[in-house]
Chains A and B, each alone.
Chain A
Amino acid sequence: MTTKNFFKTPSSQTFLIIVLLLLIAPLFLSVFRINLLGKFIAYAILAIGIDLIWGYTGILSLGHGVFFGLGAYAMGMYLKMEAAHGKLPDFMSWSGLENLPTVWAPFSNPLSLALIVLVPALLAFIIGYLTFRNRIRGVYFSILSQALSLIFVVFFIGQQAYTGGTNGLTGFRTMFGMPLATDNTKYILYYAAIFLLVLVYLYCHFLVKHRLGKILVAIRDGENRVRFSGYDPAVYKIFVYVSSAVIAGIAGAIFVPQVGIISPAEMGIIPSIEMVIWVAIGGRGTLIGAVIGAILVNGLKSGISESFPEVWSYFLGLTFVIVVIFMPEGLVGLVKKYASKITCPIKKRKATEKASSVN
Chain B
Amino acid sequence: MGTILEINNLIISFDGFRALNGVTTKVEKGEIRFFIGPNGAGKTTLLDAICGRIRPQQGSIIFDGDKNIMHYPEHKLVNIGIGRKFQVPSVFTSLSVYENMEVSVVNDRSIMASLFQPITKAQKEKIDDILDLVDLKDYCDKKAADLSHGQKQWLEIAMLLVQDLQLILLDEPVAGMGRKETIKTGELLKSIAHHCTVIVVEHDMEFVRDYASKVTVMHEGRILDEGSVSQVQNNPKVIDVYLGRGGGNCA
The interface size of chain B toward A, counting residues with CB under 8 Å, comes to 34
Inter-chain CA distance A158–B75, complex, in Å, is 44
Question: Is there a chain A Cβ closer than 8 Å to B76's Cβ?
Answer: yes
By secondary structure, the A interface counts as helix
B95 touches A217 (CB 8 A): yes
Which residues does chain A contribute within 8 Å of B79, judged by CB atoms? Answer: 230
A222 touches B91 (CB 8 A): yes
A228 with B83, Cβ < 8 A, contacts A214-B95, A221-B95 known: yes
Identify A211's interface contact among B75, B94, B106, B156, CB under 8 A.
Answer: B106
Inter-chain CA distance A245–B156, complex, in Å, is 34
Q: How large is the interface on A (under 10, 10 to 19, 20 to 34, 35 or more residues)?
A: 20 to 34
Inter-chain CA distance A226–B106, complex, in Å, is 12
A211 touches B90 (CB 8 A): no
Tally of contacts, chain A with chain B, CB under 8 A: 81
Inter-chain CA distance A285–B94, complex, in Å, is 11
Task: Please name the residue on chain B nearest to A213 by beta carbon.
Answer: B114
Question: Is there a chain A Cβ closer than 8 Å to B115's Cβ?
Answer: yes
Inter-chain CA distance A196–B223, complex, in Å, is 64
Inter-chain CA distance A211–B73, complex, in Å, is 23
B111 touches A235 (CB 8 A): yes
Task: Please name the residue on chain A nearest to B113 by beta carbon.
Answer: A211
B96-110 Cβ-contact flags toward A at 8 Å (1 or 0): 000110111010011
Identify B114's interface contact among A210, A220, A224, A233, CB under 8 A.
Answer: A210
Question: Is there a chain A Cβ closer than 8 Å to B84's Cβ?
Answer: yes
Which residues does chain A contribute within 8 Å of B51, judged by CB atoms? Answer: 228
Which residues does chain A contribute within 8 Å of B207, judged by CB atoms? Answer: none
Which residues does chain A contribute within 8 Å of B159, judged by CB atoms? Answer: 225, 229
Identify A229's interface contact among B78, B99, B111, B119, CB under 8 A.
Answer: B78
A211 touches B74 (CB 8 A): no
A212 touches B111 (CB 8 A): yes
Which residues does chain B contribute within 8 Å of A228, judged by CB atoms? Answer: 51, 74-75, 77-78, 83-84
Within 8 A of A (CB), among B2-57: 51
A contact set with B: CB distance below 8 Å: 206-207, 210-212, 214-215, 217-218, 220-222, 224-233, 235-236, 239, 285
B contact set with A: CB distance below 8 Å: 51, 73-79, 83-84, 86, 90-95, 99-100, 102-104, 106, 109-111, 114-116, 118-119, 156, 159, 163
